Amino acid sequence: MQFDERGFPNICSSPFLKNGLDWNRTWSAANPDLTQCFQNTVLVWLPCLYLWMCAPIYLIYLRSHNRGYICMSNLNKAKTAIGLLLWMICWSNVFYSFWQRHHGISVPAPVHLVSPTILGLTMLLATLLIQYERLKGVQSSGVMLIFWLLALLCATVTFRSKILQALDQPEMVCVWRYTTFYIYYTLLLVAFCLSCLTEQPPLFSQALKDLNPCPEPGASFLSRITFWWVTRMMIMGYKHPLEEKDLWSLNPEDCSQAVVPQIVHHWKTECQKVKRSGKTLYSPTQIPKSEGKEGQPPEESEILIVKTDRKTKEPSLLWALCLTFGPYFLISCLYKIIHDILMFVGPEILRLLINFVNNSSAPSWQGYFYTALLFICTCVQSLILQKYFHVCFITGMRLRTAVIGAVYRKALVISSAARRTSTVGEIVNLMSVDAQRFMDLITYINMIWSAPLQVVLALYFLWQNLGPSVLAGVAVMVLMVPVNAVIAMKTRTYQVAQMKSKDNRIKLMNEMLNGIKVLKLYAWELAFKDKISEIRESELQVLKKAAYLGAGSTFTWVCAPFLVALSTFGVYVLIDEHNVLDAQKAFVSLALFNILRFPLNMLPMVISSMVQASVSLKRLRVFLSHEELQEDSVEHKAVAAPYSISIVDGVFSWSRNESPNLKRLNVCIPEGCLVAVVGHVGSGKSSLLSALLGEMDKLEGTVNVKGSVAYVPQQAWIQNSSLKGNIIFGQEWKEAWYQRVVEACALQPDLEILPAGDKTEIGEKGVNLSGGQKQRVSLARAVYCDRAVYLLDDSLSAVDAHVGKHIFDQVIGPQGLLKDKTRVLVTHGLSYLPQVDLILVMVDGEITEMGSYQQLMSREGAFAEFLHTYANIDHTDNSVRLMSWWWDVISETVPRRGYLYVVLKLRKSLCKEDKKLKAKNSEVGKLTEADKASTGQVKLSVFWAYAKAIGVLLSCISLLLFLTHHLLSLFSNYWLSQWTDDPIVNGTQPSRLMRLGVYGALGLSQGVAVFGYSLFMSIGGILASRCLHESMLYDVLRSPMSFFERTPSGNLVNRFSKEMDTIDSVIPNIIKMFMGSMFGVLGACVIILIATPLVAVIIPALGVLYFFVQRFYVASSRQLKRLESVSRSPIYTHFNETLLGTSVIRAFGEQERFIHESDQRVDHNQKAYYPSIVANRWLAIRLEFVGNCIVSFAALFAVIARESLSPGIVGLSISYALQLTTSLTWLVRMSSDLETNIVAVEKLKEYSDTEKEAEWKYEHSSLPPGWPTHGCIEIRGFGLRYRPNLDLAIHNITISINGGEKVGIVGRTGAGKSSLTLGLFRIIEGAEGHIIIDGVDIAQLGLHELRSRITIIPQDPVLFSGSLRLNLDPFDSYTDEDVWMALEFSHLKTFVSGLPDKLSHECSEGGENFSVGQRQLLCLARALLRKTKILVLDEATAAVDMETDNLIQSTIRSQFEECTVLTIAHRLNTIMDYTRVLVLDKGEMAEFDSPSNLIAQRGAFYQMAKDAGLV
């Protein structure tokens, strides 16, 4: 068809496609070209159509996403100028057509007017869009870049055509149109290049303020889709291990403050909906009455998955999550659809290529065209897939932030009753494990609709290829679905069981770490080790069952695609003998079956992932729907009445469904009044304060507290920060006031002794402070905060008598700092009572008497009687003023906790000189060691340790089975290619039955190999898991006390939960996938090389590139994973701390500050996680590019050598090459995942190299059976130090104590009293001298032999969750009669008999359901049970009232009459009748004699006794 411009209207007026495309000229020609008509219409209109369709949506998007305003820059001016020039050129063409018509040169075709007009308007639109983008802060636009690219590609076709025409038909050239077109083409090229560049950031953007902003928002569009902007960090990570300072800041939209409020808002809306529908919200978590405090508390996990009443409507957490994250997540669905459709382009091109090889008459450019098309399609597919994953992972990351934030906020407002149903371990699991489950699911969730779509498309193309015989394959697939469904359901039940065991294990672990000192003192480590191992064993049994199921499901996955192929091919060749299986049919079908394999494999994974997430969702929903504290239980009205606190007819309970703990309360306390609350242990004194704080459920009555509140709990809550931080507690800094507070609370001398003064870091739960110091820091915090009302819960119990007096006078009493405030003081100290304004006497939750000291004494009621009994004991002569400032403060100076290793016992003279130095050097005061990220490659020894844990034999067998499976797989496909090349005789293949039989046999044997290796790998994984957990548990328990002071419990819990979970369930799967993809890649390369040996030139080069990219990536990825892991622990440590101190945080109203701190820690963790996501995308795009190159080269060489290749081999080669891309990506992903996850093993192994205590038991012990028989203790020149480089804490102590003596140990705080007992129990090993008990040097004994034969009642009473009996006798070595006897002597028999389950009564976590006094009596019962010859009391009666103290003392006197008793005493009256008293001073023995002799000598002891009013 000749082109004639004058006849143009005729040509273009006829039906467009008939004449627009000429196939002879385009497709079949050796040198193809498009018609002029096609070029002037379709190629011009296509980019215009694209831009006009996108513009409205894009404009709406820009309006709603304003990022700020960008100043006019040179780049912007250039873009605008080019746009306007293009617009002018288009119009010049329109005017030229009019000019032609006007001058009658020729009548231009309509297309010459229509096309330039449309193009001109489009260029104008493009220019306007460029300016609008600038106003909205768009730095680089994808929409515009694609427009310029499209326009350029279309113009390139025309460009080539015009050059060919100018060469062939020079007479047809129109100079004006040619010139304008070349200018137009040049300008397009410039516009495209400019659109690749990026603008400067908008004014006032976050990126300008940030030191290290994330480069993503400012990156160009090309850089964003190829993730080029990540490269700088990857290079940095390759050069040196990445550190925290190298990480980018989080994008504002990913931060907690942007994400969490959204989810909280949507969740609250959901809850409101349910409330409006009139249904109760908390039904699932309510406990029947019989199971209240006394009964066995229900197992938490069971509570979490109780079958709720069908009728109660639950608020939907799922819907809240959808509303929060849905809109952003929908973008990923769009990417997924495009990707799924592109997946089917590969097999189509393969079909065309096989046809091309078969058809020798086809022009050779078609082969190159197919190859190019294949390359472009696979690259676009890669880009879109990575963009899809990016959106998914970002959503997952935000989801995790939201879950952690929501759980943290909820934990601060949850009611006491609900708090008891969820243990710390379980709430931490919600944050770690369950949040992780959601993150994992987000990546797969789209497969729910995408998998069926892929299946339908694949079946459609298969039907095109093979006809109805595809139905046989479909039938096989349908049969597989129920099998997988059953497996998924069973997996779910195992999942729930495993989570339950895990919660229990972490809960017990947590408590063990909290009470580790007690375990060591009692030599109970083995009992608890067995208990944890027992829970762990049940967990592993469940894992083992899940492993069998897993092997079954792997078997079905791997066999499914093969069975589908076998049945389809079988039916196809058997239904009609003229059905020939040629290369095109076989390999296009195989390629489609391979596509089909992915959705079929993924569906069961997605289903099980959804199942896990639904369990997690339910746990989370139940936690978030827990009852909250009543906000209105305490009113804070500024009443005009003179009362600061008033309770009218108050009835309070710890839980709605329990009987009230406080009844008939009527109290009015005037402003500025000092009130003392007294009563026996367990009479409800602390509960009264909790009621005033709003911590209890108010059942009746009204409570009003005027003004702000400060609260000092009975057990001080100390944060892991500096001492100063603990006191200031987030308030503004006032230097002078701070100094006054520190002095009034007698903390000044402590500051001089702490290594870095008030900058010294205090360990978790205050481990490096003595009980008294903790209490005073807690008090100082309250005083510093300067509130109107002070609630002090027994805040003087843990301090020495004279320090208590000092604090009472300086802080609490009528002349103290708080004299104008309202103070409610719970106390056992009778000496303070005469100075208070009002006394409340509590008995069994009721106030029985109320009035001033004089009024109560004159009434002669129970209170007066009680006082008369005990007054002579605790009588303090008020006239005795404390001797001097030093006397007064030395008292409690040095941290008394001897084992504390921070304590530097410095001479006081040195203190003052060093003080200035210390202020500068806060490093000295560091105690806890943060988790450190190790650097460099994971050592081979770590892999070897894991292989050894599995067992070398098992590892080898698994490897062998892997190899067998892949060899069979290769051979079966090679067999298929041979089959397709079989000659056709009379329209049929003669040996098809033999071919089919062998093909089937090969497939089945593959299945068997798969089942074998899957099973062996999983079982090996479990064996490794057991071995590693056991050895870590043993290593941790064998560590000395100093290790636990240095290591935050968050780190240890993280090892036992997160890292252990990785070893349990992640590593075995990763190894399986790694081996699979490695063999897959090798197999594909072998096949391609056999088919097209020319590829051998390319593969090594690509292999080197691949290896380089992989090493490059792993260096950064591994380090990012480590940084992420290290920054994860502080989230849980802070959360643990918060849970322990919720009542204090709420009392001070500091919730917002703590929420902010938690958010910051989460963001800090996500800062390390985000680069690791994008690094994954960066890698995948580069690797897929390598894969796409291999595919294209395989196709290219097949095209070049098409004369010598059979279609079967070409089909085999390219169908393998198509799989290679995925396998390559998986291989690197898995190898890096393997390296990053094996870090978990590395972390567990860390603890095997730390220092250990001495042996627990020696093999050949020569210890006599009943040792010690007399209890004689001889100490010769004994001394010890806390760390190798420190001075001796006690030195040169030489005393001899006879069997049965009662010895009191006294001395100012820091004199070394506790150090001596720690030396006796070898918590700290002696540095010099010997301690000899009954003729045996204790240094020669195993630690358990020593510790189990002497007994201590420690200062902090620690209970573990479990039965009461377990707490008294964990080894079950005593009869029930013995236990009851011990309880009777410790005055607890009546209390325990009153409990519904008696000895089986469950203690809650930390013994929360007993008062502190009762816990102390239980510790006494432990000592009575062991009844050893030596008993040490470490200030054991500090937390009990006078009466209980008396009971304990009388019990000790009667029951331990023949034993040697060493007592560290605060209250001197308790040791006045002892045989002898040892007075320590500055770590040396000052005096040692009977009390009467010491008083006669008028030395240090006399002075103390005088202070206490005893002489």
Distance CA 1060, CA 1065 (A): 9
pLDDT at 878: 32
Distance CA 1165, CA 1058 (A): 15
518 closest CA partner among 1260, 1321, 1064: 1321
pLDDT at 844: 85
Confidence band of 16 (pLDDT split at 50, 70, 90): very low
pLDDT-wise least confident of 393-402, 556-565, 1419-1428: 556-565
Are residues 704 and 634 in contact, defined by beta-carbon separation less than 8 angstroms?
A: yes
Task: Give the pLDDT mean for 541-551.
Answer: 86
> CA angle, corner 536, sides to 534 and 542, nearest 5?
110
Cβ of 234: how many Cβ atoms within 10 Å? 23
Cβ of 1334: how many Cβ atoms within 10 Å? 18
Distance CA 355, CA 1065 (A): 47
Give residues with Cβ within 8 angstroms of 641, minimum separation 6: none
Task: Give the pLDDT mean for 126-134.
Answer: 90
**pTM score:** 0.74
More confident residue, 1468 or 815: 815
* pLDDT greater than 90 at residue 642: no
Alpha helices, DSSP H only, in 104-174? 110-135, 142-168
Computed from CA positions of residues 1131, 1136, 1137, 1142, in that sequence, does the dihedral angle turn out positive or negative? positive
Computed from CA positions of residues 1202, 1206, 1209, 1211, in that sequence, does the dihedral angle turn out positive or negative? positive
192 closest CA partner among 231, 220, 233: 220
pLDDT at 1123: 87
- 359-377 pLDDT, tens digit each: 878 888 888 999 999 999 9
The H-or-E segment that residue 72 falls in is: none
pLDDT at 265: 92
* pLDDT greater than 80 at residue 786: yes
Secondary structure (DSSP) of 955-983: HHHHHHHHHHHHHHHHHHHHHHHHHHTSP
* pLDDT greater than 60 at residue 1111: yes
* pLDDT greater than 80 at residue 1318: yes
pLDDT-wise least confident of 666-680, 891-905, 961-975, 1291-1305: 891-905
* pLDDT greater than 70 at residue 614: yes
Task: Give the pLDDT mean for 806-811.
Answer: 87
Task: Give the pLDDT mean for 178-202.
Answer: 89
Cβ of 1286: how many Cβ atoms within 10 Å? 15
Confidence band of 260 (pLDDT split at 50, 70, 90): very high
- 1131-1189 pLDDT, tens digit each: 888 888 888 888 889 888 888 999 999 999 999 999 999 998 898 888 888 888 888 88
* pLDDT greater than 70 at residue 280: no
Computed from CA positions of residues 837, 843, 847, 849, in that sequence, does the dihedral angle turn out positive or negative? negative
Distance CA 608, CA 499 (A): 15
Amino acid letter, 361? S
Burial pattern 845-870, b for ≥16 Cβ within 10 A else e, equals bebebbbebeebbeeeeebbebbeee
Cβ of 939: how many Cβ atoms within 10 Å? 13
pLDDT at 295: 39
Confidence band of 297 (pLDDT split at 50, 70, 90): very low
- 999-1057 pLDDT, tens digit each: 889 888 888 888 888 888 888 888 888 888 888 888 888 888 888 888 877 788 888 88
Q: In this structure, what token pair is assigned to residue 13? A: 């007026």
* pLDDT greater than 90 at residue 190: yes
Sheet holding 789-793, edge to edge: 709-712, 789-793, 822-826, 674-679, 838-843, 846-851
Burial class (CB in 10 A: 0-12, 13-18, 19+), 564: buried
Instruction: Quickly count helices (H) and strands (E) in the chain.
Output: 55, 21
At residue 937, what are phi and psi to the nearest 5 degrees? -65, 150
Distance CA 165, CA 173 (A): 8
Task: Give the pLDDT mean for 772-793.
Answer: 88
Supply the DSSP symbol for 811: I
pLDDT at 903: 32
- Give the end-to-end CA distance of the chain in Å, rounded to a whole number: 130
1266 closest CA partner among 1341, 1339, 1345, 1320: 1345
pLDDT-wise least confident of 165-179, 306-320, 942-956: 306-320
Confidence band of 931 (pLDDT split at 50, 70, 90): low
Bridge partners of residue 950, in order along the sequence: none
Secondary structure (DSSP) of 1312-1381: SHHHHHHHHTTSS--SEEEEEETTEEGGGS-HHHHHTTSEEE-SS----SEEHHHHH-TT--S-HHHHHH
More confident residue, 745 or 210: 745
Q: Map tokens 């008793």 to a residue.
A: 1461
Supply the DSSP symbol for 637: -
The three-state secondary structure class of 788 is coil
Confidence band of 911 (pLDDT split at 50, 70, 90): very low
- 677-723 pLDDT, tens digit each: 988 878 888 889 888 888 888 888 888 888 888 999 888 888 888 88
The percentage of residues in the chain with a pLDDT greater than 90, rounded to a whole number, is 9
Most confident of 700-709, 762-771, 801-810, 1286-1295: 700-709
* pLDDT greater than 90 at residue 1218: no
pLDDT-wise least confident of 43-52, 293-302, 1447-1456: 293-302
* pLDDT greater than 90 at residue 151: yes
Distance CA 1391, CA 377 (A): 79
Task: Give the pLDDT mean for 755-776.
Answer: 80
Supply the DSSP symbol for 884: -
Most confident of 77-81, 1039-1043, 1062-1066: 77-81
The percentage of residues in the chain with a pLDDT greater than 70, rounded to a whole number, is 90
pLDDT at 930: 57
Tell me the pLDDT of the chain averaged across its residues.
81
- 554-599 pLDDT, tens digit each: 787 777 777 888 888 888 888 887 788 888 888 888 888 878 777 8
* pLDDT greater than 80 at residue 86: yes
Q: In this structure, what token pair is assigned to residue 915? A: 């003080």
pLDDT at 1070: 84
> CA angle, corner 1135, sides to 1131 and 1138, nearest 5?
145
Alpha helices, DSSP H only, in 872-950? 885-890, 908-920, 940-950
1083 closest CA partner among 976, 1213, 978: 1213
44 closest CA partner among 158, 126, 144, 146: 158
pLDDT-wise least confident of 485-489, 647-651, 742-746, 959-963: 485-489
Task: Give the pLDDT mean for 101-107.
Answer: 74
Report the largest interatomic distance among the alpha carbons of the chain, rounded to a whole angstrom.
139
Task: Give the pLDDT mean for 492-501.
Answer: 84
The three-state secondary structure class of 1073 is helix
* pLDDT greater than 50 at residue 998: yes
Task: Give the pLDDT mean for 543-554.
Answer: 84
The three-state secondary structure class of 109 is coil
pLDDT at 13: 46
pLDDT at 1378: 85
Confidence band of 261 (pLDDT split at 50, 70, 90): very high
* pLDDT greater than 60 at residue 400: yes
* pLDDT greater than 80 at residue 993: yes
Region of residue 41 (left: phi > 0; alpha: psi -120 to 50; beta: else): alpha
pLDDT at 384: 92
Distance CA 1354, CA 517 (A): 9
- Bridge-based pairing of strands 1290-1297 and 789-793 is unpaired
Burial class (CB in 10 A: 0-12, 13-18, 19+), 958: buried
Give residues with Cβ within 8 angstroms of 913, minimum separation 6: none
Distance CA 1447, CA 1413 (A): 12
* pLDDT greater than 90 at residue 1409: no
Distance CA 1086, CA 962 (A): 17
Distance CA 649, CA 637 (A): 18
Distance CA 358, CA 1207 (A): 7
Distance CA 516, CA 521 (A): 9
Angle between helix 940-950 and 992-1037 (nearest 10):
100
1272 closest CA partner among 1333, 1199, 1327, 1322: 1333
Bridge partners of residue 1176, in order along the sequence: none
> CA angle, corner 1369, sides to 1367 and 1375, nearest 5?
135
The H-or-E segment that residue 812 falls in is: none
> CA angle, corner 1185, sides to 1182 and 1187, nearest 5?
115
Are residues 624 and 406 in contact, defined by beta-carbon separation less than 8 angstroms?
A: yes
More confident residue, 288 or 1048: 1048
